[in-house]
Amino acid sequence: MRTKLAAIAVAASAALVAAPAFAGVPTTDLDPATLGRGADVAIPHLEGKTFVDGDLRVPLGGRYAWLLGASGGGHLVAVNAMSTAVRRIDAAGNVSTVVKTPTAASVHLSENGRRIVVTGVTGGKAQPRTIYSATTGEPLRRRTFSGYPTTLGMTGAKVLLSDWKRGTYWWASGSGRLTTVSKRPAGYADLGNDLFASYTADPYQGGCTVLSRISRPGRTIWRSCKERVESISPDERLIATVDILSDGIGPATSSCARGPAPGWPTTGPVSGSARSHGRTTTRSCSTPTRR
């Protein structure tokens, strides 16, 4: 897959850089309410505040919950109530608390499922990152960072961070070393697929978003000055995007590029409206053309 993406970048980057993501392509409107129900979600996921894995359903409670990923034969979820707790759900549905912290801006699980990195809330002071064992909950490393960097993910003992001053960089928690990936700040990363989406400049000042390999940040796979990357499918065949200036729930429009890999030329988005939180939202997909 990575070899294919490299070839795509060479063949298509000039056109992609020059044009908006879906410029000049036809649009097909869909009404989701008229579509038949599809198959159940086949992978572990959350339905509201309930963990679902096949026939297993585990209510989590709290105000918010999010699935961190697989770890040690089970799955880890983070639940926010008056504090933030990381809980383990085993195959039988038994729940145990691994880590509990009074405040957390974000919680990430390392790609191998062995460590958890918690971003603390400090109220104007240098922001801490604490790394815990995902098995025992034992704190392993702690470091504070100025500039309020965003935690993008963790692989092994390395944490990927980003801020507007330094750009995107690795924190090697074992040695403490900081290594720059790119001077561009990033808003999204998929460490398993070696991908990150960064900004050429402040998007409020005309900056664009660029999708690149973390290992090859200078090579553009996909670029847009109107949309930013929200998510990438595990097989790299789909990119979900929203308006580049969106925040939180986002604007009334979101879209995704569909095809063999990010960066393929598009043949046309498919859009439709749905009611969400009292608002009408539009989603669109585009299928790249093989060359």
What the block records as the tokens of 31 is 């009404």
State the average pLDDT for the chain: 80
Euclidean distance between CA atoms 263 and 13, whole angstroms = 8
- What SS3 state is found at 70? strand
Residue 246 is predicted with a pLDDT of: 85
pLDDT digits (tens, 9 = 90+) for 165-184: 999 999 999 999 999 999 99
Domain segments of the chain: what residues? 1-21+200-291, 45-183
Segment 102-114 mean pLDDT = 93
Domain made up of 45-183: CATH architecture: 7 Propeller (2.130)
Residue 260, pLDDT > 50, answer no
Residue 132 is predicted with a pLDDT of: 97
Residue 94, CA distances (Å) to 75, 76, 112, 133 in order: 11, 12, 22, 19
Q: Cα–Cα–Cα angle for 14, 18, 22, nearest 5°? A: 110
**Which DSSP string corresponds to 147-205?**
S-PEEEEEETTEEEEEETTTEEEEEETTT--EEEEESS-EEEEEGGGTEEEEESS-GGG
In this structure, of 91-95, 116-120, 255-259, 271-275, the range with the lowest mean pLDDT score is 271-275
Give the model's confidence band at 236: pLDDT under 50 very low, under 70 low, under 90 confident, else very high: confident
Residue 266 is predicted with a pLDDT of: 38
